[in-house]
Amino acid sequence: MKLTILGGGGFRVPLVYEAVATGATGLTVDEVALHDIDESRLRTITAVIESMGAELQAAGRVRGGADGRPAALPRLVVTTDLREAVAGADFVFSAVRVGGAEARTVDERVALNLGLLGQETIGPGGLAYALRTIPVALEIARTVAEAAPGAWVINFTNPAGIVTEAMRTVLGDRVVGICDTPIGLVRRVGRLLGVDVVADDPATGAPVAEVDYVGLNHLGWLRSVRIDGEDRVPGLLADDDALEEIEEARLIGKDWVRADGALPNEYLYYYLHTTSAIERITATATTRGEFLAKQQGDFYAAGEEACCSSPLELWRGTLHEREATYMAESRDEERREEDVAGGGYQEVALRLMTAIATGRPERMILNVGNIGAGREDAPASERIVPELPAETVLEVLCVVDGDGVHPLPVAPLELGRLGMMAALRSSERLIMEAAVTGSRDAAWRGFATHPLVSSPELGRLLLEGYEAGHPQIAELLARG
């Protein structure tokens, strides 16, 4: 089995390789192909992975090969040629960052200079990220369709919801978006309830719980967890000690989540505490993007020089600092160790891949179409959320098996949540239109109508700032 990782020089790629090599999900992968346009980053990450592989072998943690063959590391192939990388792949993980960490700093600063939220995926920064990323994502989708038509694409390129929606126009249901924040929330709730709420009962095979999570990527809510017919969320909301153990409740405010009647995805912080978020970000010496650009720049430079320490140890130290400072501007305390070590997107991706490859069912929160590809003309009542367009990519609980990804029904959406979702995706779809057609008017409208902007004047200034700061955006809109 061949796995291709696009953005293969990315900082978190060794996490994926470790999960594959150790057979964390019981699946054997024979070949891992890393693709990146930056040869230097590829060399550094390859050195980390080779060191990690040697360590895993020495510790006896490498999974046995297929058909009873002795334990062996997956063959590692490194290339800057996209078609070569995906040819013959069974699965393609897409985790590209167009413009690198330096482009993220532009996304943040253009917005902050206008008094708006400067964050990677939320607000105008997320729209700028999508505008320069969607053309590349579509090129990837077309290449996969031609060179590996049977492959499944697992997208964790941000902003994952709208990027996945764009890729679905080429690949249909064979592209699925993932994010590790919803499952992190669900697991925290499961720990408090003493069960794995997305598992099946080993005795009966029935789900342990009925979980209702719904939203868009980085805009979602856990509304109910029913065990033996009883919804356990109200009890958690009424218990201050329980809410103290849920990172999202501490972050957004225990009184608010109790009043709202649902446990929110952590990224709701930026919608509910926008002014505070802007003040906290501007009060720091650097934005998150600037911090990561320097931190990872230092890491890659040191890795190229091969000095001071092993590439693997250098990577591990940098990784822990990165995870511990995640969303630091939103917190009044350091992240708790159990939240830092809460899994990650590599585990979500491998579980998804394993369920499809082996047919062993898994229940997972994924980014999928409101209705299956090719069924867009079906009645609205057959959609997951009838009020939203058929092609909208939603983040909901799904069952994954050998036949693919099967979204589970959700309870009717409250008007306020539906309104937030519709307003955000409307803005993002205008940005997708601009990315496909080069329309400046569509881009302007997308920036202007985002819920955290709501101003034609600011929308125009954002567009002009991002055109000036991003060559990719300027070139795209010059062709429109």
pLDDT in tens, 394-423: 999 999 999 999 999 999 999 999 999 999
Q: How many residues does the chain have?
A: 480
The tokens describing 263, both together, are: 């446990």
pLDDT at position 350 is 92
Q: What is the 3-state secondary structure (H, E, C) of the chain?
A: CEEEEECCCCCCHHHHHHHHHCCCCCCCCCEEEEECCCHHHHHHHHHHHHHHHHHHHHCCCCCECHHHCCECCCEEEEECCHHHHHCCCCEEEECCCCCHHHHHHHHHHHHHCCCCCCCCCCCHHHHHHHHHHHHHHHHHHHHHHHHCCCCEEEECCCCHHHHHHHHHHHHHHHEEECCCHHHHHHHHHHHHHCCCCCCECCCCCCECCEEEEEEECCEEEEEEEEECCEECHHHHHCCHHHHHCCHHHHHHCHHHHHHHCCEECHHHHHHHCHHHHHHHHHHCCCCHHHHHHHHHHHHHHHHHHCCCCCHHHHHHHHHHHHHHCCCHHHCCCCCCHHHHCCCCHHHHHHHHHHHHHHCCCEEEEEEEECCCCCCCCCCHHHCCCCCCCCCCEEEEEEEEECCEEEECCCCCCCHHHHHHHHHHHHHHHHHHHHHHHCCHHHHHHHHHHCCCCCCHHHHHHHHHHHHHHCHHHHHHHHCC
pLDDT at position 341 is 42
Name the pLDDT band for 342 (thresholds 50, 70, 90).
Answer: very low
What are the b/e assignments for 70-84, b being 16+ CB within 10 Å? eeebbebebbeebee
The tokens describing 79, both together, are: 């290339």
The tokens describing 234, both together, are: 């109200």
Q: Is the pLDDT of residue 219 over 70?
A: yes
Prior bond of 379 cis (ω within 30°): no
Lowest mean pLDDT among 119-128, 241-250, 273-282, 296-305: 296-305
Rounded Cα–Cα distance for residues 157 and 89 (Å): 18
Lowest mean pLDDT among 11-25, 102-116, 315-329, 446-460: 315-329
Burial (0-12, 13-18, 19+ Cβ within 10 Å), 411: exposed
Name the pLDDT band for 311 (thresholds 50, 70, 90).
Answer: confident
Q: Assess contact for 224 and 189: CB atoms under 8 A.
A: no
Provide the percentage of residues in the chain whose pLDDT is more than 90.
80
pLDDT at position 339 is 45
Query: To the nearest 10°, the Cα dihedral for 364, 366, 371, 373?
Result: -110
Lowest mean pLDDT among 296-300, 308-312, 335-339: 335-339
Mean pLDDT, rounded, of the chain: 92
What would the pLDDT profile of 77-108 be if each residue is shown by its tens digit?
999 999 999 999 999 999 999 999 899 999 99
What are the b/e assignments for 364-375, b being 16+ CB within 10 Å? bbbbbbbbbeee
Task: Determine the average pLDDT of the residues in 334-355.
Answer: 70
Q: Between 295 and 250, whose confidence is greater?
A: 250
Rounded Cα–Cα distance for residues 344 and 199 (Å): 17
Q: How many C-beta atoms surround the C-beta of residue 228 within 10 A?
A: 7
Name the pLDDT band for 16 (thresholds 50, 70, 90).
Answer: very high
Alpha-carbon 12 to chain mean position: 12
What would the pLDDT profile of 427-468 be if each residue is shown by its tens digit?
999 999 999 999 999 999 999 999 999 999 999 999 999 999
Q: Assess contact for 174 and 141: CB atoms under 8 A.
A: no
The one-letter amino acid code at 274 reads T
Q: Assess contact for 125 and 119: CB atoms under 8 A.
A: yes
Q: Is the pLDDT of residue 336 over 80?
A: no
Rounded Cα–Cα distance for residues 236 and 245 (Å): 10
pLDDT at position 130 is 98
pLDDT at position 176 is 98
* Angle 19-220-216 from CA coordinates, rounded to 5°: 80
The candidate with the shortest Cα–Cα distance to 213, out of 329, 367, 88, 110, is: 367
Give me the sign of the Cα torsion angle 468, 439, 36, 351. Answer: positive
Q: Is the pLDDT of residue 149 over 80?
A: yes
The tokens describing 175, both together, are: 């592209």
* Angle 154-157-163 from CA coordinates, rounded to 5°: 85
What would the pLDDT profile of 45-83 be if each residue is shown by its tens digit?
999 999 999 999 999 999 765 555 557 899 999 999 999
Rounded Cα–Cα distance for residues 424 and 244 (Å): 30
pLDDT at position 67 is 56
pLDDT at position 325 is 66
The tokens describing 99, both together, are: 């413009």
Burial (0-12, 13-18, 19+ Cβ within 10 Å), 231: middle
Rounded Cα–Cα distance for residues 202 and 255 (Å): 37
Q: Is the pLDDT of residue 123 over 80?
A: yes
Name the pLDDT band for 328 (thresholds 50, 70, 90).
Answer: low
pLDDT at position 462 is 98
| pTM for the model | 0.93
Q: Assess contact for 393 and 169: CB atoms under 8 A.
A: no
